[in-house]
Amino acid sequence: MSLDEQNYLGREQTLVKHIILQRYLLRLAVIVGTWADSITYIDCFSGPWESKTPDYADTSFGIAVQELKKVQVELAKQGKRPRIRCFFLEKDKKSFAELKTFCDSLSGIEAEAKNNVLEKAVPEILEFHKKGGQKNFTFTFFDPKGWKGIELDVIQPLLKLSPGEVLINYMTSFTRRFIESQDPELIPGFDRLYGNSVFRTKLAGVSEDDRDDAMVEEYIRRIKAEGNYSFASYTPVFQPQINDIHFHLIYATRNEKGLEVFKKEERKAVEVMESARAKAQQRERESGGTLELFSSNEMHDTQFYNSLRTKYWNKTKAKVHALLASKKPVSYDFLWEAALTTPLVWVEDLNQSLMELSKKGKLKFVGLSEREKFPKHGKGVMVQIV
């Protein structure tokens, strides 16, 4: 079931975050549930936060529970009944009281709510995780309000949970304002966010246009290293009213299937984002009383989105060309990874571009049968410039 956009008026960025969570968690848990004895979902910053619904259908915890229940039904049809376990953490007393009442009302799902700050709750979370047993897959969501609370030394033990994946909300709009501040009160906080001060050297000299990417990519490098993740991607989520990035959703996994599925869902969520922004901006323009003749989508200026798509596609092309430059056969899997770990670039973009080059005789595939329209990851296909 799609989320009700009416619950997200004025906070369309949260709609995008929730759509990604909703769609991906469902797909992930259905796949994982075929072999896992337990699926453990951990929300370290649960809320409720700015919820407008009595049943919490517009909160991350409400959405997770709703999707995990669907997963149970789906898996039961296949004779699979993994334990579904949720750990919800919330520091605010009032919000926690609501969260606890919600959890206590659930059946068929193990749901534990705790009133604590993440800094102090990690041992409790690890204990909860341990009770999931041997074949226990964990998905951990970090959704702080700013850059505080997810210091690398705090979240490191959670990043290491394996098998497992993480989704992290990196609050770009706040971070970029303060990350290079010389205020002695702020410096240690950012050093702890990144685990050390190396990011400062990496950011020095980076142009304004590339700063967001540099900040997020260095953070991802640290997350991948700490959690031994094979792949990570990041999705820019825009401000509803203005052409700017509000936050980046960082996803890290040790499994290529995870990345493949995540990127499919990211694509759909980004489409909803542009449509929701178009409506939000039209509402604002019409607030003076003059209604517009054309629909919000027709009126929407897509230049910001398109320019980012172009920028990231150019980055992908550069990576692909660098990989193929030696003119030796290169595994398609490397090109796939280069494309799918770049924001707003999808497998269809890569395949279409490679097929066009192939038709022009500029490259060839080895191991791609005549019947196959496009190469696929993990099938041993090689690509070579001719």
Ligand X SMILES: C[S@@+](CC[C@H](N)C(=O)[O-])C[C@H]1O[C@@H](n2cnc3c(N)ncnc32)[C@H](O)[C@@H]1O
Q: Which stretch binds ligand X (CB under 6 A): 43-51, 159-167, 180-188, 326-334?
A: 43-51
Alpha helices in the chain (DSSP H): 12-32, 60-77, 93-104, 118-130, 152-159, 172-178, 187-194, 198-203, 208-227, 256-286, 296-299, 303-324, 332-340, 347-359
Residue (144 or 329) nearer to ligand X, CB = 144
Smallest gap from Cβ 207 to ligand X, in A, equals 30
Pattern of binders to ligand X over 86-115, x per CB under 6 A? ---xxxx--x--------------------
Q: Is 146 in the site for ligand X (CB under 6 A)?
A: no
Q: Is 124 in the site for ligand X (CB under 6 A)?
A: no
Smallest gap from Cβ 294 to ligand X, in A, equals 33
Residue (82 or 149) nearer to ligand X, CB = 149
Residue (273 or 335) nearer to ligand X, CB = 273
Q: Is 217 in the site for ligand X (CB under 6 A)?
A: no
CA 82 to CA 98: how far, in whole Å?
Answer: 27
Q: Which of 27, 38, 47, 102 is the binder for ligand X (CB under 6 A)?
A: 47
Residue-wise DSSP of 352-365: HHHHHHHHTTSEEE
CA 274 to CA 303: how far, in whole Å?
Answer: 11
Q: Is 49 in the site for ligand X (CB under 6 A)?
A: yes
Please say whether the beta carbons of 195 and 152 come within 8 A. Answer: yes
Q: Which of 22, 38, 59, 342 is the binder for ligand X (CB under 6 A)?
A: 59
Residue (99 or 335) nearer to ligand X, CB = 99
Residue (95 or 275) nearer to ligand X, CB = 95
The crossing angle, in degrees rounded to 10, of helices 60-77 and 93-104 is 20
Smallest gap from Cβ 115 to ligand X, in A, equals 9
Please say whether the beta carbons of 85 and 39 come within 8 A. Answer: yes
Q: Is 218 in the site for ligand X (CB under 6 A)?
A: no
Please say whether the beta carbons of 21 and 141 come within 8 A. Answer: yes
CA 94 to CA 325: how far, in whole Å?
Answer: 58
Smallest gap from Cβ 169 to ligand X, in A, equals 7
Exposed, middle or buried by CB within 10 Å (0-12, 13-18, 19+), for 56?
Answer: buried
Q: Is 40 in the site for ligand X (CB under 6 A)?
A: no
Q: Is 174 in the site for ligand X (CB under 6 A)?
A: no
Q: Which of 13, 22, 38, 60 is the binder for ligand X (CB under 6 A)?
A: 60
Q: Is 67 in the site for ligand X (CB under 6 A)?
A: no
The two three-digit tokens of residue 141, written as one number: 């969501």
Q: Total binding residues for ligand X by CB under 6 A?
A: 18
| Binding to ligand X, residues 301-360 (CB under 6 A) | none
Residue (88 or 313) nearer to ligand X, CB = 88
Q: Which stretch binds ligand X (CB under 6 A): 23-31, 142-150, 195-203, 308-316?
A: 142-150
Which among 76, 19, 14 is positioned nearest to 48, based on CA atoms? 14
CA 56 to CA 54: how far, in whole Å?
Answer: 6
Query: 8-26 burial by CB neighbour count: b if 16+ within 10 A, else e?
Result: beebbbbbbbbbbbbbbbb
Residue (13 or 342) nearer to ligand X, CB = 13
Exposed, middle or buried by CB within 10 Å (0-12, 13-18, 19+), for 196?
Answer: exposed
Which chain residues interact with ligand X by CB under 6 A?
Answer: 45-47, 49, 59-60, 89-92, 95, 117-119, 143-145, 149
